[in-house]
Structure 1
Amino acid sequence: MNMDIKASKGRIIEAVNACDNPYLLLQMEKLLKREGMLGPIGEMVAEFPVLLEEEPPRDKIIQTHLSAPDQNKLSRYDSIATPIFFFLGLIMLMLAAAILNAISQADVNLNVAIFQGTVVRMYLFGWLVYVGDFIVLLVLARQTHRKLATGEFIFRVAALLFPPMRMASRHIQQVELIWIPLYGWSLSNEGLLKLIKRKFSIPMIVIALLIIPVLLIEWQFYDQVSAYLNTDLTFLLDLVQAFIWMAFASEFILMISISNEKVEYAQKNWIDIAIILLPFISFVRTIRIFKIARLTQLARGYKLRGLLMKARQGFVFASFFYRILTIKPDFQINRLRKQLVKNQKEREMIEEDLIELYKALKMENKI
């Protein structure tokens, strides 16, 4: 052990002498200043060598256009079906956007009612296709005596509740693989996540920008624009908002499917979640409205739906400005620096917890 420490010191000293990176030298200096406080952790490693185990390196290598898994009938079926269901998922997402926006309207005329009915029937037909796909998977798994990946199986069950989720599902047996247009079967890792995020960045800014003319027309210039175009703008504005919602939903579904840290990704992108979920809240409220008899409660229901629509527009507006800011170098540097400081504080707090645990164990004579 002493030889290992001596050799490690020698390597570090050589590296420090050869290092001209001021940032790296500053980090080492800060860490060495805490050497006295971290002494108990140095004692802990004798009893708990797990503290010295190195973490596996981050997987940032982008691997795309990989061979489709075809080890058995189940694997081959999913390799063929997944690309098909990606595009079918986009269609289902379009239908969901149309349904949610149509139901969010306060005034429902005959044409809107007919449109709603047609879209709902199309959505239900698509849902039956997903049910059939799920049944085929179960049958093939039984025939081939193959086990379905638990996490992906749960994801497929969830996709029965909201079929567009299937568009970004991973392979049912090789869950490290995901199919993406233009890239084919790809390794789902940090490198792929960054690549797709970079590809989405500019298009999503442009799409979020569409909310500005929508807000201006709805709040200030509706009558003027409607008179100039000689048409009712309600359908057009709803169409634009449905497109915005679909874009945010498709990006989020794809990105969270690629991410291996789904909870962390969801926490960082809570604005996108709010944009996606608010129409569903309005939808649930609408169902409840149908059961309300008194007109005053009905009016409150419509008022709440209006507030939810405005809230969604506000979140899209906020998302637009945030995405704009994230491409500015100064903003990015300040944001990432704050994140570094936060992470360092969290690390120090964890180390302090380790020290407290070690002291408690010593008091109880357990080590």
Structure 2
Amino acid sequence: MDSAIRQSEFQLQRHAQVQMNSAQQTELDRRFAPVMFFVTLAFLAIAGVGMHVLQDSESRFTHAAHVCGWTLFGLWIVYISEAILHMRDRGQFRRSDLFICLFPPLRLGARDHIDGTTVWLPWMGWKTASDELAADIELRLSYTMIAIALLILPLLGFEFYFEAKIKEVRSLGMAVQIAQAFIWFAFAAEFILTISLVSKKLKFVKEHLLDLAIICLPMIAFMRAFRLTGAARLSRLSKSARVFRLRGLAMRAWRAILILQIVDRILHRDQEKRLRMLEEQIAEKQKEIQELQDEARLVRESIEAQKLENSDLDQQDAPINARVD
């Protein structure tokens, strides 16, 4: 009985400690989190621009792609430096720091270095990472994301009516690539941030396959275009043409999926997903409450048993004390 009581007290103390730590961060977390969040947004935006300008069929923006690449390398050093500082500060979760160094966009949803439960967000401050927070962010961004996705429609019209002009005028070609990069950046940032907050990441991916396709297809096209540079140097014209056809197919698929995503977001506006998530959270909370009630019942029974045992001992000691008197 005593061991059960001690175990229950330990679990309650541990739960209280976790709740207290969830509102705490290291000094480095509080100092770097806001800056690194916007640095990561810049990293993702520059990566998107570099990835798209390199896909130009005339290879007119190779210099801009090189500038983006060197800028990303400089920012990558910043992430490595931050990870080293956290290690020197003996912060926890070094594996997360390693993942961020390998894939810097993960820094958007980086957790604190005490218990890894809180994340810093603009205009919200430090919040406990949870499915509810992810759903709230999706709901807040739903109209903005619909507006950004709708940009593909005038962009398609512009490319269709001014195709020859875009090929002739370098600035128009650059503007088209940057517009596509902006759309990609918005979807990539939203996806990375929300998936870093949810507990069931595989389930989140299954529910956001359109978003994942919007993010991945330009990356596939980028790899094709990247291979093109080596092919061009070897004067393999047939291979170059095949690569450009594959790149064009990937980007056409990207635009089609983006339009599907617009329809899906307008029809559902994330309300049904949010309701489903809230119902799942209610079920989980009810399960936790039931477990706490069962644990409290066991503790109560242990206390009552202990009181009864003490009462029996007192009754046994009473006649002995009477005879002594």
TM-score (norm 2): 0.71
Which residue identity does 1:131 align to in structure 2?
A: I
Which residue identity does 1:315 align to in structure 2?
A: I
What residue is the counterpart of 1:319 in the other structure? Answer: 261
CA distance in 1 between partners of 2:162 and 2:270 (Å): 34
CA distance in 2 between partners of 1:273 and 1:91 (Å): 20
CA distance in 1 between partners of 2:102 and 2:241 (Å): 30
Q: Deviation of residue 307 (structure 1)?
A: 1.1
What residue is the counterpart of 2:128 in the other structure? Answer: 187
Q: Deviation of residue 244 (structure 1)?
A: 0.4
Extract unaligned runs of 5+ from structure 2.
1-18, 281-325
Q: Residues 176-217 of structure 1: CA distance to partner in whole angstroms, max 9, x if unpaired?
A: 101111110001123212211110111000000001111122
Q: Of residues 108, 124, 132 in structure 1, which corresponds to 2:73? A: 124
TM-score (norm 1): 0.63
What residue is the counterpart of 2:303 in the other structure? Answer: none
What residue is the counterpart of 1:136 in the other structure? Answer: 85
What residue is the counterpart of 1:261 in the other structure? Answer: 200
The SS at the match of 1:105 is coil
What residue is the counterpart of 2:46 in the other structure? Answer: 95
Identity %: 29
Q: Deviation of residue 94 (structure 1)?
A: 1.0
What residue is the counterpart of 1:81 in the other structure? Answer: 32
Q: Residues 111-167 of structure 1: CA distance to partner in whole angstroms, max 9, x if unpaired?
A: x222222221111111111111112222222xxxx5x23xxx433322223212212
Extract unaligned runs of 5+ from structure 1.
1-62, 70-74, 341-367
What residue is the counterpart of 1:291 in the other structure? Answer: 230
Equivalences for residues 103-122 of structure 1 within 5 A: 103-109=54-60, 112-122=61-71
8 Å Cα contact 1:217/1:225 also seen in 2: no
Q: Deviation of residue 226 (structure 1)?
A: 6.5
Q: Structure 2 vs 1, CA of residues 312 and 161 (structure 1 numbering), >3 Å: closer, same or farther?
A: farther
Q: Deviation of residue 67 (structure 1)?
A: 4.8
CA distance in 1 between partners of 2:228 and 2:270 (Å): 45
CA distance in 1 between partners of 2:250 and 2:102 (Å): 23
Number of residue pairs matched?
253
Q: Structure 2 vs 1, CA of residues 198 and 225 (structure 1 numbering), >3 Å: closer, same or farther?
A: farther
The SS at the match of 1:108 is coil
By percentage of residues, which structure has more helix?
A: 2
Q: Deviation of residue 282 (structure 1)?
A: 2.0
What residue is the counterpart of 1:277 in the other structure? Answer: 216
What residue is the counterpart of 2:290 in the other structure? Answer: none
Q: Residues 291-347 of structure 1: CA distance to partner in whole angstroms, max 9, x if unpaired?
A: 333211111011111111111112211111110111398xx59x97xx99xxxxxxx
RMSD of Structure 2 on Structure 1 (CA): 2.8
Question: Which protein has the larger Cα radius of gyration, Structure 1 or Structure 2?
Answer: 2
What residue is the counterpart of 2:186 in the other structure? Answer: 247
CA distance in 2 between partners of 1:290 and 1:328 (Å): 41
Q: Residues 234-284 of structure 1: CA distance to partner in whole angstroms, max 9, x if unpaired?
A: 222111111100100110111111111111111100111111112222222
